[in-house]
Amino acid sequence: MNELQILYEQCLTCTRCPLSGSRTNIVFGQGNPGSHVLFVGEAPGEKEDLCGQPFVGRAGMLLTKVMEQVGLDRQDVYITNILKCRPPQNRDPNREEEQACLPYLLEQIRLVRPVLTVCLGRIAASRLIRPDFRIMKEHGIMFETSFGPAMAILHPAAVLRNIRQMDLFVADMNQIARIVKGSEG
């Protein structure tokens, strides 16, 4: 059993916060554990909770479509969330929930060892890059963190709500694709 599988098994029985009592499934992560890029969202939604996989709803479909558009294959990246359980009514995660799950996420990052960690949206960026992160001003900028290089891009759900942001989203994904392709060579 590999280390990611062991971590997954630990998450299955986690009761560190009240969300464990309302989950259908944990949403641990999916993709290539040897990937050069790791995408981090904030928390699973209803569809993710039902099937146990991250980014499978409308936002996930957009993420996958834009990845393909810029030459990234979803099977070649690793995708996870800060929280492994769904908050009720898809509300933003609270501090207690984030603190309970953050050790799991940091261990996932350590085990995958990505060249780049990409925060999907303001909430993930404010937890992993800097508490006062401003997504509209700082998206696409590389930051050095305790776990290596990281950047944030708009969350695909935000792009769905404001389609005028699609060009920014695609431009940032193109930049990610260039970084990944450069690290593979």
The pLDDT value recorded for residue 183 is: 81
CB contact at 8 A, 28 and 40: no
pTM of the model: 0.96
Q: What is the mean pLDDT of each run of 10 residues along the chain (185 residues)?
A: 93 96 96 96 95 96 98 96 95 93 97 97 96 97 96 98 97 96 79
Instruction: State the number of CA atoms in the 13 A half-sphere of 182 facing the CB.
Output: 8
- The domain locations on the chain are 3-184
Residue 144, pLDDT score: 97
* Best CA proximity match to 104, nearest among 30, 177, 42, 28: 28
Query: In the beta sheet, which residues pair with residue 148?
Result: 145
| Separation CA 156–CA 8 (nearest Å) | 25
Q: Output the pLDDT for position 115.
A: 96
pLDDT for position 185: 62
pLDDT of residue 14: 96
Q: Minimal CA–CA distance to 39: which of 82, 6, 71?
A: 82
Q: Closest by alpha carbon to 41, among 50, 32, 53, 51?
A: 53
Return d(Cα 81, Cα 119) in angstroms, integer: 9
**40 forms bridges with which residues in the sheet?**
80, 119
- The position carrying tokens 């769904």 is 86
Assess if CATH 3.40.470.10 describes domain 3-184: yes
